[in-house]
Structure 1
Amino acid sequence: MAWAQAPVSGTLTDARSGQPLPGATIALDGTAVGTTDANGNFSLPAVAAGAHELRFTFVGYQPLVRRLAGQPTAQQLSAALQPADVLTGEAVVTATRANERTATAYTNVSREELQQRNFGQDLPYLLDQTPSVVVTSDAGAGVGYTDIRIRGTSNTGINMTINGVPLNDPESHGSFLVNLPDLASSISSLQVQRGVGTSQNGSAAFGASINISTLDNRREAYAETQNSYGSFNTWKNNVQFGTGLIAGKFTFDGRLSRIATDGYMNRASSDLKSYYFAGGYQQKNTLLKFITFSGREKTYQAWNGVPEPAITGDRALLQTYVDNGELSEADAARVLQEGRRYSYYTYDNQTDNYQQNHYQLHLSQGFGPNWNLGAALHLTRGFGYYESYRANRRLSAYNLPNVVLGDTTIRRTNLIDQKWLDNYFYGGTFALNYQPANNDRLQATVGGGWNHFDNDHYGEVIWAQFASTGNMRHRYYFNTADKTDYNTYARATWQVLPRLGVYGDVQVRHIDYRIKGVEDDQNDVTTSASYTFFNPKAGATFALGEGQQLYASYAVGQREPVRSDFTDRPAGDTSAKPERLNDFEGGYRLSLPNTDWLGRNTAVRFEANYFFMNYRNQLVATGQLNDVGTPLRTNVASSYRTGVELTGFASANNKVSLSSTLTLSRNRIRNFQEVSYDADFNRVVGERRTSTISYSPAAVSAHTLEGQPLPGLRVALLYKTVSRQYLDNSENRRRSLDPYQVMDLRVRYTIRPAFVKEIELGLLVSNLLNHRYEANGYTYSYVGASGRPETFNWYYPQATRNFLASVGVKF
């Protein structure tokens, strides 16, 4: 009897109208197990004997938690959700989210799914199994500086927002999640949109957007702690708490986190701390919520990666690096000793130190049954530096005079410098939504935002072996950046016929950007640029039958160059141009929450999405980096990305499930001309040809097979494949990343003793098959000491087999 399992089914309705609620999310013991069908029906094929928690959630309604006792016989139950008396945070976030009506490609990730994946690694690694995603880590194990690419586009082309507030750095366009460690523990829901997607606040989406929400109100009091330990002395500790709803009006939630690791690479440690706090007030149709979160990171610099001979062991190639001054003799000796875990730096405080404080004030106001307004004020305060030991540097490069000792003139010195950022980012966003309560044929949103960014860039010398007139913290460069960005958009979906819906979205965005002063190389980088972009979008959906849909859309995305495109341009190059993307998407969706398949009760989902992303003046990576590890880029007149994304999911009796995604794509530059130099240093321009865009694999797949062999025990195998990636745009295999395949094992076991609500034990074994692979790199070439062109490749090796074990307790 104790091991017996029987189905549980029922219907979910609106508590006021009695109408069914299709598409509501159902979670059993914190694990998403399905959604309601078009008639509000649901079915859980097998629920083990014992006590369980069944949770129903639906946008615009209060979550409902039901206690469920598993029995050896089938059970039938009905549940009704109360409409939210005030707007929930999730309802506001939908202003910028895609849905089945917007004819775009997207993936929703719930709080429960993130919790299953979260052992302390950064957010990109928790999204590794979503379509078209490739992730990498400088330190090799997913903690510290990590990066995510979607459809071959780096995070500078991925719009990221938290509660509708832009997260991307306004100058670099990057989202540095190392500054917000353990953010995933505070996320209530997340959506990844691929392609241009819907209009967003902040920088334009040129490959995807990641829309994060932390606004969920948890109506019951809670306290939780998660703790992990694993390879490379990796630790994660956090505590979370919430008061639930106090006096029907107030809520308070908080989190404290610390993550620390030595890193897979030598001297690639991270020490990361963060907090999250939210206080909310709700009254009738009003919700006011203040949120603050912050992260402080100290990471040893692993930006340089490792030279190719450290990977291959090629001593002759290693000597080439030495002969051309890329490595010293001492460096070469360490390459042979440390191998693929080699670290370029040896100075004990070669670290990056940064703190980022976020403050958000959100207002949700309902105006009758059909209208609601979401508005937010925000401030982000960022400051920090990275410290470096510099050997044999010219004093003049640091605005220091030569040192004269008798008849000896000293022109070079060893020194330690710090490069600082000190910035404020502030502004406001709004979204006015029309969502009829009794007629959902037409839904519309008008929204936008105004944001301003002030940033000081400067460098200081804190120690020098020789510096006769230099003072402590001698400032050797300073420049300021000032950027204003405002946009407005209007979006609507209209169900023209019972089966046919149309979608329209138009955005106007304006940017003013000013740089004034000199950069670290003493060059004047004073720049003034202004842009106005008009970005229309349109689409249509057609319902083929129960749970089946066809969709197609067209969208325009445009964006301005990033800071390094202005400050790091090669000599003789003109100023960077803005990019334009015409994005065509079309596909088929199938969703059968409860169906009889192969004689057993099964849930099935499938999607096939075709995309054609046609670029004008796309800024693509050249394969080189600047001195802080930022990829250098150049405009190419005409390029495109096209392919198909296949996504499938099937589960049987809540005992076993399989999810798979496969992306096959072509990523090409038209009329590409490679530039090189001959032995006489003459510039050589190659013939025009079609070439593959750098860092754009032709095939990416992810697969998760998960089973429940025993009640409370879930075991999953995760498999990831990424095809060849080129480090520059020459399509030269000599400058590429080899294809790789990685398998992970995840085990979670949940028990519910009498003295606490839940205890969960977890184990993550990454790279189970112990493959050696590199997920990122860079390259550059020049005429070397031999008098002929030489190529120098640097790579970021990823960790071999490693583990993280966790213990989580819910009170």
Structure 2
Amino acid sequence: MNKLSKVGLALVLSIWMAGPAFAQESLTGTVRDQDTRERLTGVAVKIANSYTGVSTDENGRWELPMPDEDEFTLEFQLLGYTTITRTVYKNELDGPLLVSLTSALRELEEVIVQATRASENTPTAFTFVTEKEIDEQNLGQDMPFLLNMEPSTVITSDAGAGVGYTGIRIRGTDPTRINVTINGIPVNDAESQGVFWVNLPDFASSVESIQVQRGVGTSTNGSGAFGGSVNLQTSTLNPESYARLDNTIGSFNTRKHTVRVGTGLMQDHWSFDARLSKINSDGYIDRAFSDLSSWYASGGYHSEKTLVKAVAFSGSEQTYQAWYGVSEAQLNDGNRTFNEAGTDFGQRTEPYDNETDNYSQTYFQLIWAQELGDHWHLNNAFHWTIGGGFFEQYKVNDFLPTYGIYPLSGTDTVTNSDLIRRLWLDNDYYGWTGSAQYLKEGQLELTIGGAFYRYEGRHFGEVIWARYAGDSEIRDIYYDNDAVKDDASAYVRGLYTLRNNWNIFADLQVRQVNYTFLGFNRQLENVEQDDQLTFLNPKVGLSYNTLRGHKAYASYSIGNREPSRQDYVDTTPESRPLPETLRNLEAGYHIKERNWSAQANVYWMDYVNQLVLTGAINDVGANVRVNVPRSYRLGIELVGGGQIGRRNPLRIEGNVTLSRNKIREYTEFVPTFDPNYTRIDSLALATTYTDTDLAFSPSLIAGLQASYTVPKLDLTVTLLNKYVGRQYLDNTQSLEKSLDPFTTSDLRLQYDKSFSSVLKGLTATFQINNLFNALYSPNGYTFSENYLFDNGAGGFDQTGATAYNYFFPQGGTNFLASLGLRF
């Protein structure tokens, strides 16, 4: 553990152990806006069935004489907000009451995401990212970089600058195991199960809030959460009209330009919002440019009981590929920015200038939320996602029959040629999600929900140029593989509050998946397979809340997940892998006080048949993932934060994750090649390991950030630090195949000034990333090969396993500068 991580751990533990004592001579509390977290003035606070009441002051605070009764009810009421009641037990009072009110018009928008989000009393581990926190960090980098300081996260960027292809891991689990929804509608690709944030450039500018759940979490829509879930809610109603301009420039020729406008609430019912964004970056890695654009539009009808909202957003990207990484040999020679893309693995001296990924994706959502009586809410959403694009690649001296190209009759036989190919994907993803919710404050939260989706994907390839074209015709298709996937689920979830502040949680989901794929694969082999799977995902839990804001909880969940497209396409029914199962136990304690908070969460994630790469070759000669019977993750997460000083100018927040991530038994297979580089499967090397670390699962992750606000200058200075322990590139726990631990520090200066004129506000931000120029790689991959060579005595000897490591280096010290104008 390095010095920074020790300091971070000490600070988090200090916040956890500290805390003021409260004397309860009167009844006091604070009321805030649920969404903005601003303190509300003028809230009527009344003891039910009495004439005793007060209003909150300019700081949202109130104070009442302590009633004589041991049990009583408080009412909180403010025009434009939903009235709530809170039952108070005097013997449990040990501090001020913290209450949040929801805007009456916004409340229905909250219902849209509540069906897939954890509530305050849900016994699971989660964090909440507010609009203000998103806005502070939104300088043009992709969504994973805005979540870097969340507990147990590790982020990466192929291009090394946070723009383009990026990813996030939670508790060591990869992006294909992290469920992502937007307004409760699934975003994960139905086949690969990953989320490609590059297709959603600057989407953060249209996001109101984010909830990050760790572990299985609550029932959600789409593929199951195996490491966590990220739930995004798009911008909700802004009652006032507005316009906003944001411009960012930075290192690596990074630029972001964003325009946002909104009508506010018109004629008491209608609102419209729109955004246009453009992002460009040359990337840290050679030629790894990104040319991204996006738009967002929404329009809605709002009343106290009805919300009808249409949302559409789209993203287009062209990125020069950097997904091959940088070889260990190049790194050792100091070539940290070397890019192999465009050279066909070094066979072409001058890189091809258009080795690019080109893709666009457009989302349509129609949402209807309805309040039925005092307690029931109905939510329906219909969605359609249209995607299409290609990856263009130069191949040197490739074998033409692979592409269905053969020599013309009467000509010299030419079987190999340089060529340029495009690998296409066109898809449609459409369906429905819905839920009915019964919400009775302080007693019962009941949700009955379901979803149905269909995915239709077409995978095909074409050769757009060849030096020797043979008998090919323009727009010939050399492989065509269509796929259809139906996904249906239903769930019921309840949270019941007992009189003594105990909460009982239960959640049961049934999910059925039907997957059919047919046509030809790239080897021109006919593929006709289908699979039908039914999953039962139960969750139970218990939590205890005190009125002061303390919470103890425990839960047990089971999640199941189907294999991905590649697991199916590269197998036969006989070698097809089994679905994965995760048994997840979470337990924790959460403290919330006026100026500080702390949380400890212990987790146990027990996997059955987890899919991992072993190097094994199946019955069709493909190197695919296989099931390992048993593996697990055991860890503790400590999260804390506090404000120090008069008017709280200094805020410190930190998190530490200590974990043990193991495969109980794992067999690695290393392929063997003869001197002509022909694979000999019968001579593959097999080595069995026991109790080894899971790949990409650091045993220590720590984050620490400190913010100091100078009120008279409207200036906030924030220092952000992140430590990530050693990660292994595969499951052998080999030091030679690992990523070194690293520490990064970012410094952000932000000036934010409000005005009462046409210009309502100005925000200027200057951020230095990687302040101390750390040379690090958060991601990579490895493969090994064994070679036969002539021993000079009429036979062959073997080299043994030779490992080839590739890394994704991140940029050194760099900056981003942004200016935002609010009208």
| TM over 0.5, shorter chain | yes
> Where in structure 2 are the equivalents of 1:52-201 lying within 5 Å?
61=81, 84=104, 87-201=107-221
Other structure's SS at 2:394 match: strand
1: CA distance, partners of 2:287 / 2:80: 49
2:801 is equivalent to residue 801 of structure 1: no
Other structure's SS at 2:211 match: strand
Q: Is the 8 A contact 2:32 2:99 kept in 1?
A: no
Q: In 2 relative to 1, CA 453–260 (structure 1 residues): closer, same or farther, beyond 3 Å?
A: same
Partner residue in 1 for 2:774: 771
Partner residue in 2 for 1:731: 733
Give, in angstroms, the shift of residue 527 of structure 1.
2.1
Residue in structure 2 matching 1:467, options 465, 469, 480:
469
> Where in structure 2 are the equivalents of 1:313-712 lying within 5 Å?
313=333, 328=346, 346-402=351-407, 408-436=412-440, 439-543=441-545, 546-568=548-570, 574-592=575-593, 594=594, 603-622=595-614, 633-652=625-644, 653-676=647-670, 682-709=683-710, 710-712=712-714
Other structure's SS at 1:114 match: helix
Deviates more, 1:414-423 or 1:665-674: 665-674
Give, in angstroms, the shift of residue 123 of structure 1.
0.3
* CA deviation map 1:500-542 (0-9, x unaligned): 1110000000000001012223333432111000111000012
Q: Is the 8 A contact 1:105 1:197 kept in 2?
A: yes
Q: Is the 8 A contact 1:45 1:654 kept in 2?
A: no
Deviates more, 1:18-27 or 1:213-222: 18-27
Other structure's SS at 2:526 match: coil
Other structure's SS at 1:513 match: strand
Give, in angstroms, the shift of residue 497 of structure 1.
3.0
Other structure's SS at 1:784 match: strand
Give, in angstroms, the shift of residue 654 of structure 1.
2.8
2: CA distance, partners of 1:22 / 1:636: 49
Q: In 2 relative to 1, CA 326–412 (structure 1 residues): closer, same or farther, beyond 3 Å?
A: closer
One-letter identity of the residue aligned with 2:271: T
One-letter identity of the residue aligned with 2:370: Q
Partner residue in 2 for 1:597: none
Q: Is the 8 A contact 2:580 2:609 kept in 1?
A: yes
Other structure's SS at 1:673 match: strand
1: CA distance, partners of 2:739 / 2:369: 48
2: CA distance, partners of 1:177 / 1:631: 27
* CA deviation map 1:737-784 (0-9, x unaligned): 111111011111122354510111101111010011111111111123
Q: In 2 relative to 1, CA 274–388 (structure 1 residues): closer, same or farther, beyond 3 Å?
A: same
Other structure's SS at 2:104 match: coil
2: CA distance, partners of 1:155 / 1:287: 33
Give, in angstroms, the shift of residue 621 of structure 1.
4.5
Q: Is the 8 A contact 1:387 1:417 kept in 2?
A: yes
Q: Is the 8 A contact 2:206 2:235 kept in 1?
A: no
2:280 is equivalent to residue 286 of structure 1: no
Partner residue in 2 for 1:217: 237
One-letter identity of the residue aligned with 2:545: A
Q: Is the 8 A contact 1:86 1:366 kept in 2?
A: no
Give, in angstroms, the shift of residue 91 of structure 1.
2.7
2: CA distance, partners of 1:613 / 1:769: 36
Q: In 2 relative to 1, CA 543–583 (structure 1 residues): closer, same or farther, beyond 3 Å?
A: same
Give, in angstroms, the shift of residue 498 of structure 1.
2.1
Give, in angstroms, the shift of residue 181 of structure 1.
0.4
Partner residue in 1 for 2:316: 296
Q: Is the 8 A contact 1:59 1:91 kept in 2?
A: no
Give, in angstroms, the shift of residue 671 of structure 1.
1.8
Structure 2, unaligned stretches of length 5 or more?
A: 1-27, 48-53, 62-75, 84-97, 675-679, 790-797
TM-score between both structures, scaled by the size of structure 1: 0.85
2: CA distance, partners of 1:80 / 1:387: 52
Partner residue in 2 for 1:243: 263
1: CA distance, partners of 2:623 / 2:309: 38
Partner residue in 2 for 1:781: 784
2:792 is equivalent to residue 792 of structure 1: no
1: CA distance, partners of 2:616 / 2:263: 50
2: CA distance, partners of 1:354 / 1:326: 22
Other structure's SS at 1:797 match: coil
1: CA distance, partners of 2:55 / 2:533: 48
Q: Is the 8 A contact 2:673 2:785 kept in 1?
A: no
Deviates more, 1:542-551 or 1:195-204: 542-551
2: CA distance, partners of 1:679 / 1:61: 71
2: CA distance, partners of 1:79 / 1:444: 21
1: CA distance, partners of 2:245 / 2:300: 22
Partner residue in 2 for 1:810: 822
Partner residue in 1 for 2:20: none
Q: In 2 relative to 1, CA 60–203 (structure 1 residues): closer, same or farther, beyond 3 Å?
A: farther
RMSD of Structure 2 on Structure 1 (CA): 3.2
* CA deviation map 1:9-45 (0-9, x unaligned): xxxxxxxxx9985784655699xxxxx9x99979969
1: CA distance, partners of 2:442 / 2:285: 54
Q: Determine what percentage of the aligned residue pairs are the same residue.
A: 40
1: CA distance, partners of 2:788 / 2:55: 73
Other structure's SS at 1:718 match: strand
Q: In 2 relative to 1, CA 216–411 (structure 1 residues): closer, same or farther, beyond 3 Å?
A: same
Q: In 2 relative to 1, CA 642–81 (structure 1 residues): closer, same or farther, beyond 3 Å?
A: closer
Q: In 2 relative to 1, CA 381–677 (structure 1 residues): closer, same or farther, beyond 3 Å?
A: closer
Give, in angstroms, the shift of residue 410 of structure 1.
1.2
Partner residue in 1 for 2:272: 252
Q: Is the 8 A contact 1:163 1:215 kept in 2?
A: no
Give, in angstroms, the shift of residue 675 of structure 1.
2.3
Q: In 2 relative to 1, CA 45–521 (structure 1 residues): closer, same or farther, beyond 3 Å?
A: same
Deviates more, 1:750-759 or 1:284-293: 750-759
Give, in angstroms, the shift of residue 633 of structure 1.
3.2
Q: Is the 8 A contact 1:25 1:57 kept in 2?
A: no
* CA deviation map 1:162-218 (0-9, x unaligned): 001110000011111110100000001110000000000101000000011015111
One-letter identity of the residue aligned with 1:804: L
Q: Is the 8 A contact 2:32 2:60 kept in 1?
A: no
2: CA distance, partners of 1:698 / 1:666: 6
One-letter identity of the residue aligned with 1:699: L
One-letter identity of the residue aligned with 2:445: Q
TM-score between both structures, scaled by the size of structure 2: 0.84
Q: In 2 relative to 1, CA 238–624 (structure 1 residues): closer, same or farther, beyond 3 Å?
A: farther
2: CA distance, partners of 1:57 / 1:190: 27
Residue in structure 2 matching 1:227, options 240, 244, 247:
247
Give, in angstroms, the shift of residue 623 of structure 1.
8.5
2: CA distance, partners of 1:264 / 1:19: 50
Deviates more, 1:227-236 or 1:92-101: 92-101
One-letter identity of the residue aligned with 2:474: M
Structure 1, unaligned stretches of length 5 or more?
A: 1-17, 31-35, 47-55, 64-77, 332-344, 595-602
Partner residue in 1 for 2:765: 762
2: CA distance, partners of 1:723 / 1:416: 41
For these two proteins, the number of residue pairs brought into alignment is 728
One-letter identity of the residue aligned with 2:764: L
Give, in angstroms, the shift of residue 712 of structure 1.
0.9
Q: In 2 relative to 1, CA 376–624 (structure 1 residues): closer, same or farther, beyond 3 Å?
A: farther
Q: Is the 8 A contact 1:623 1:728 kept in 2?
A: no
2: CA distance, partners of 1:79 / 1:673: 54
Q: Is the 8 A contact 2:615 2:668 kept in 1?
A: no
